[in-house]
Amino acid sequence: MERTFIAVKPDGVQRGLVGTILKKFEEKGYKLVGLKLLQVSQELAQTHYGEHKGKPFFDGLVKFITSGPVVAFVVEGNDVVVTARKMIGATKPSDSAIGTIRGDYGVDIGRNIIHGSDSPESAEREISLWFKPEELTEWTPTISTWIYE
Ligand code: IDP
Ligand code: MG
């Protein structure tokens, strides 16, 4: 089973979209294994977005992601990394299909509601950056046999 890291960014939290977003992942059939609300530090923001350091939007991105609480969570399931990215939509909301999270709720690339890991390697890195091992819970949903053959 694969895991991915998802974060509802400060705009998503401020707009009251946390429940809506969590519901989409729950209804899809993914298992929630970690969840928290936190104020992101400068250090965490810069490390998380390290690949974008030096780009023109980097400072604004760090300022934005540290501007208010973020809801971070980890979901588990078959092919969850790639499927979560499909559920999230393209980086630029105007390129995101209607029905995706960014396509339905986002307008501006700098306020695109949600983050999702872009590969299994990024997911591992981001999960260990945002969560301590003891903050992730192993459990078996009773509905598992109705989601997996
Ligand atoms: P992703 O979130 O879809 O993986 P990335 O290219 O990794 O997209 O960029 C990370 C985040 O940086 C985006 O979600 C967006 O919030 C922000 N970002 C990316 N490109 C721009 C830009 O051109 N202007 C403003 N913000 C940007
Ligand atoms: Mg990215």
Structure tokens at 140: 């078996």
For residue 10, what pLDDT band results from cuts at 50, 70 and 90? very high
- 60-103 pLDDT, tens digit per residue, is 999 999 999 999 999 999 999 999 999 999 999 999 999 999 99
pLDDT of residue 141: 96
How much distance in Å is there from the Cα of 143 to the middle of ligand 2? 32
Given the residues 3, 48, 102, 115, select the one marked as catalytic: 115
Q: What is the pLDDT of residues 89-148, one digit of tens each?
A: 999 999 999 999 999 999 999 999 999 999 999 999 999 999 999 999 999 999 999 999
Q: Per the structure block, which two tokens stand in for 67? A: 């501007």
Residues within a 6 A CB radius of ligand 1: 52, 57, 61, 91, 109-110, 112, 115, 118
C-alpha distances in Å from residue 56, one per residue of 26, 49, 66, 67: 36, 13, 17, 18
Q: Minimal CA–CA distance to 78: which of 146, 127, 29, 21?
A: 29
